[in-house]
Structure 1
Amino acid sequence: MERRVLVGRIVGVSGTAGAVRLESWTDPRTQIFRYQPWILKSGSGEREIRGCRGREQGKGMIATLPGVDDRDQAAALIGTEIWVLRSALPAPKPGEYYWTDLEGMDVATVDGVALGQVSHLFATGANDVLVVRDAERERMIPFVLEHYVKQVDLDARRLVVDWDPDF
């Protein structure tokens, strides 16, 4: 199964004709409409849709979705996650990585000590952080290229870090 990327979430309704308000995590946020089809995922399941259109409005985004024609249908989608296939996204620039591409990678120190696998990442004000887990512990390693992260090998699915295994 191809890897998916979470790119947004439906957070409300707009008007009576079925438009939804959404939160976009793409940069710029309007880019979400270029990555289609969308896979809408909620507690009741998931479905794939194409032809979503929208625009910025104030601090948010307004979207129209095919087959959503009234306020009740739109309200039923509040909380729905918007996913796209990884292949729908453009290739990252050199030295940039999609978090989804790093998740699951093996992590080892520059001395060859295995630290586990990347569970997930999160953002801080200063830098992103790798959460690396093995059977015994969890480590949080700043994702700072050249300083802590020495090598990213997407083909081998391996990261090499300059990190004390006891920390």
Structure 2
Amino acid sequence: MLTVLESTGLPADAIEVGRILDAWGVKGWLKVLPHSTQPEALLTAKTWFLQAPDAKFRPGFSAFKGTVRVSVDESKTHSDSVVSKLASMDDRNDAEALRGCRIFLPRSSFPAATTDEYYWVDLIGLNVVNREGIVLGCVRDLMTTGPHSVLCVESQMTQEDGQEVATERMIPFVAAYVDTVDLPGKLITVDWQPDY
């Protein structure tokens, strides 16, 4: 059982891109929940790195320990998920054994983004300043609202009693508000005021 798994280490630039939901069909295919609404990296990868599911999600997982590398024969979108076929996995039982596994890919294997397109993972951690040079905080997360993404920018604010508290700003990630994204400089410049 599960002869397609090869024990390995996780690449230094590994990013979690999805999770195996369950078996799909009877021929060893997997149903995958991607962590992105545009899962190009997951769809094009020919090698995945798997780690066991969180114990609270699937207690008693025993298919493997540590990190394993698997070869992917085919991946395609299906409704709101991705379905994938691993090399040499032709049995539904083997696919079910991987339910809940976390899927990682090296960041270096992602397809190149086009001009003015960015992977969310590259934006997280960037500092955000406005046109006047006022620091608004650091990107902690992004969320999608349908028509566009929103930067979740965290900063520290001093209260009247002198205590520091974390605050969060939501800045639409659209050209009307975002002037520049400098990935090497780890800086996003926006047309946004501190009191918005």
TM-score using structure 2 length: 0.71
Work out the CA distance in 2 between the residues paired with 1:157 and 1:133: 15
- Provide the identity percentage: 34
Number of residue pairs matched by the alignment: 164
Structure 2: stretches of 5+ with no match in the other structure: 1-11, 56-64, 157-165
Shift of 1:107: 0.7
- Whether contact under 8 Å (1:106, 1:116) holds in the other structure is yes
2:124 maps to a residue whose letter is: E
Counterpart for residue 22 of structure 2:
12
Deviation digits for residues 26-81 of structure 1, max 9, x if unmatched?
74x67634224212232267524242122548635432324655433322322323
Structure number with larger C-alpha Rg: 2
The amino acid of 1:76's aligned partner reads A
| Unpaired segments ≥5 residues, structure 1 | none
- Name which of 53, 64, 75 aligns with 2:85: 64
Give the whole-Å Cα distance in 1 for the aligned partners of 2:41 and 2:138.
Answer: 30
Between the aligned partners of 2:180 and 2:72, the Cα distance in structure 1 is 38
RMSD of the TM alignment (CA)? 2.6
CA distance in 1, matches of 2:155, 2:28: 46
Deviations 1:93-133 (A, max 9, x none): 11111111111001111111111110011111221100000
List aligned pairs for 1:49-128, cutoff 5 A.
49-56=69-76, 59=79, 61-66=82-87, 68=89, 70-128=91-149
Which residue of structure 1 lines up, in the alignment, with residue 170 of structure 2? 140
Partner AA of 2:194 in structure 1: P
With over 3 angstroms needed to count, the CA separation of the structure-2 counterparts of 1:134 and 1:50, relative to structure 1, is same
Output the amino acid matched with 1:140: M
Paired amino acid for 1:142: P
Q: Is the 8 A contact 1:30 1:55 kept in 2?
A: no
Q: Matched residue of 2:71: which SS?
A: coil
Alignment check: 8 A CA contact 2:128 2:138 kept: yes
